[in-house]
Amino acid sequence: MTEISFPIKIHGLSKVYRGKKWQRVAALRQLELTVRSGEIFGFLGPNGAGKSTTIKTLVGLIRPTEGRVTLFGQPAGMAGARQRVGYLPENPAFPDTLTGREFLALVAHSFGLARQQGLMAAERVLDMLDLTTAAGRPIRSYSKGMVQRLGLAQTLLHDPDLYILDEPMSGLDPIGRALVKDIILDLKAKGKTVFFSTHVTADVERVCDRIGVIVGGVLQAQRDVAGLLREGVEGYFCRVSNCPDKVLQPFGYKGRDDVVQELFVPRDRFNDFASQLFRSGGSFDLVEPQRRDIENYFLSLVRQAGEL
């Protein structure tokens, strides 16, 4: 019964689209994924990898060809399963004859919020996303970024436990991106669960607890971001002083005329280098870890999958 408490549980999910001329597109293959409560999960993958397909299955817009998907233990696709979920569609669009405020009232009503409660919640999220001045205008007058922010506001409105965001940062300017990251971190601090997709690795590093990389409809890996960052350190860039050249030479240092001594030390030889340095009377001026970042990790997985 503990499984039931998982905000997202995907088991053996496959999806085949039937395209034009009865063409079949296998968008997802045997996807296994669990998102734990309170986790920020980044769903990383190149364009066309199947991120949106996964997310649309989660919120019941499409049905799986195979497999089981549950939200808090309830089968996805049932209206009730979405009660505790805030969903931001990819490139969202909202009934554009309504004003932002009216649309939020519609959302609040559908989540069963009382009128007064809904109004207050709407003002809170409008303010949070800097939409208060535009809230009385019809959505058709909004810019792309404003619509995206309204989409985020709409997910926050009823204070759900699980956020499913499809490319939340796309279409936003740098200020907007920073805002979204802050919001996500804020949600994490409140113990909420966030599942978001992106194809930009830089979005992932600062905010995610865990990432899953999907390429060609297959989940290639799931990793803990902290561990990945730790493991990713390949060596250190060091600036030392008063060190004899013979200590430095085995690390590929070629004697230079100037006073500044700089070199790269691989991770597994760092301890060795440090003890030699101290023994010879030298000292560190600067040590900088050199990491293979998530971008590289991502690219290597994509390469493995044969998509590059």
Ligand X SMILES: Nc1ncnc2c1ncn2[C@@H]1O[C@H](COP(=O)(O)OP(=O)(O)O)[C@@H](O)[C@H]1O
Interface contacts to Mg ion, rule CB under 5 A: 51-52, 90
Q: Which is nearer to Mg ion, 90 or 307 (CB)?
A: 90
Q: Of 178, 177, 157, whose CA–CA distance to 169 is shortest? A: 177
Q: What does DSSP assign to residue 254?
A: P
Calculate helix-pair angle for 144-156, 115-128, nearest 10 degrees.
Answer: 130
Q: From the list 9, 51, 101, 158, which residue makes contact with ligand X (rule: CB under 6 A)? A: 51
Per-residue binding string, ligand X, 185-204, x by CB under 6 A, is --------------------
- C-alpha to C-alpha distance for 135 and 110, rounded to whole angstroms: 19
Q: Is 47 in the site for ligand X (CB under 6 A)?
A: yes
* Residue length of the chain: 308
Q: How many other C-beta atoms lie within 10 A of the C-beta of residue 156?
A: 21
Q: Which is nearer to ligand X, 198 or 261 (CB)?
A: 198
Both tokens of 103, joined, read 């649309």
Q: How far is CA 242 from CA 89, 134, 195, 236, 272, in A?
A: 59, 63, 51, 19, 18
Q: Which long-range contacts (CB under 8 A, 24 or more apart) does 107-110 make?
A: 107/154, 107/157, 107/158, 108/157, 108/158
- Contact between 99 and 136 under an 8 Å Cβ cutoff? The reply is yes
Per-residue binding string, ligand X, 253-282, x by CB under 6 A, is ------------------------------
Residue 141 contact partner, candidates Mg ion, ligand X, another protein, none, CB within 5 to 8 A by sort of partner: none
- C-alpha to C-alpha distance for 176 and 272, rounded to whole angstroms: 46
Write down the least CB distance from residue 89 to ligand X, Å: 11
Q: Of 213, 217, 205, whose CA–CA distance to 293 is shortest? A: 205
Residue 111 contact partner, candidates another protein, Mg ion, ligand X, none, CB within 5 to 8 A by sort of partner: another protein
Residue 50 contact partner, candidates another protein, ligand X, Mg ion, none, CB within 5 to 8 A by sort of partner: ligand X
Q: Is 49 in the site for ligand X (CB under 6 A)?
A: yes
Among the listed ranges 19-27, 174-182, 285-293, 294-302, the one in contact with ligand X (CB under 6 A) is 19-27
- C-alpha to C-alpha distance for 255 and 293, rounded to whole angstroms: 30
Q: Is 48 in the site for ligand X (CB under 6 A)?
A: yes
Query: How many helices (H) and strands (E) are present in the chain, helices listed first?
Result: 10, 13
Binding stretches for another protein (CB under 8 A): 17, 53, 56, 59-63, 79-83, 85, 87, 89, 91-98, 102-103, 105-107, 109-112, 138, 151, 154
Q: Is 27 in the site for ligand X (CB under 6 A)?
A: yes
Residue 106 contact partner, candidates another protein, ligand X, Mg ion, none, CB within 5 to 8 A by sort of partner: another protein
Q: Is 19 in the site for ligand X (CB under 6 A)?
A: yes
Give the residues lining the site for ligand X (CB under 6 A): 17, 19, 25, 27, 45, 47-53
